[in-house]
Structure 1
């Protein structure tokens, strides 16, 4: 990953050290979000089975929701004077999410894989809430709180497709 040095002039009232730390934190979560966006599309494109259309459409909706959070994350990086590194290449190199099983086809396989990725994403975001708060950047902490709520809701929607034991 490239330097987290501040590249965009800003008059925001956070110190350079805080801004640099927050840009790094946001960048890590940006990579996770971009990875998740494409994991959701992978599932959307390849899922097959009973209740196909409902799950297929859910995946598309979740893709759009995560993509919105990715955009907010990248914009927060810019607000803090950083340069978002949002290419698929950077995301592939730095994402902390589990690798998506490319052989998944059945709905239950996609449910398990998407749930696992959403859980990792939400866990990373919750840690980021604490880090941003401890650094004194409540704006970034609030953004991560918004993302956390959306990730938890998305996981709930996906988990609702699990077959009851």
Structure 2
């Protein structure tokens, strides 16, 4: 279920982007904040529940992936607030706003977790790349740069996951 929230810019800032350009950026940042927090929690779900012959390797990989994604939650939220907005980053807010599908509870086998994460990363990386373009269109180079950093990391993580199913 996707919830939309009205984004207000309650805090003044001297960042030289007009309010008309900052408001859609705060909305975009909050949307990607929801996805990033959700992706982090789904990676941890895989980390906690993986079973099978590659348990240790995947358990360790999933923890590494989560650790690399986690800092982006804070960076994205802080950018939204720097633009004069409010970061909507609680677990319930993220769950209500994330564009990622729910993680399958029946995933146990390592390869099932890998496949589920590949699907979510593919959606996530595509939405982050679109966010780069939107930030550029709104003349917000700092947000575009942040999203580019996220994109580089998430693309590499997707590559790591896909390498587990490629021959």
Per-residue Cα deviation, 1:36-69 (whole angstroms, up to 9, x for no partner): 0110010001001112111101111111111111
State TM-score, norm by structure 2: 0.95
1:22 and 1:136 map into 2 onto residues whose CA distance is 10
1:11 and 1:129 map into 2 onto residues whose CA distance is 23
1:51 and 1:37 map into 2 onto residues whose CA distance is 21
Aligned to 1:129: 132
* Residues 73-112 of structure 1: pairs in structure 2 closer than 5 A: 73-112=76-115
Flag structure 1 segments of 5+ consecutive residues without an equivalent: none
Aligned to 2:34: 31
State TM-score, norm by structure 1: 0.96
1:142 paired to 2:145? yes
Instruction: Say which SS state the counterpart of residue 161 (structure 1) adopts.
Output: coil
> Following TM superposition, where does structure 1 have runs of at least 4 consecutive aligned residues deviating by more than 2 angstroms?
none
User: How far 1:9 sits from its partner (Å)?
Assistant: 2.2
Number of aligned residue pairs: give it.
Answer: 164
User: How far 1:2 sits from its partner (Å)?
Assistant: 3.6
Match of 1:54 among 41, 53, 57: 57
1:43 paired to 2:40? no
2:56 and 2:11 map into 1 onto residues whose CA distance is 44
Flag structure 2 segments of 5+ consecutive residues without an equivalent: none
Match of 1:66 among 69, 94, 100: 69
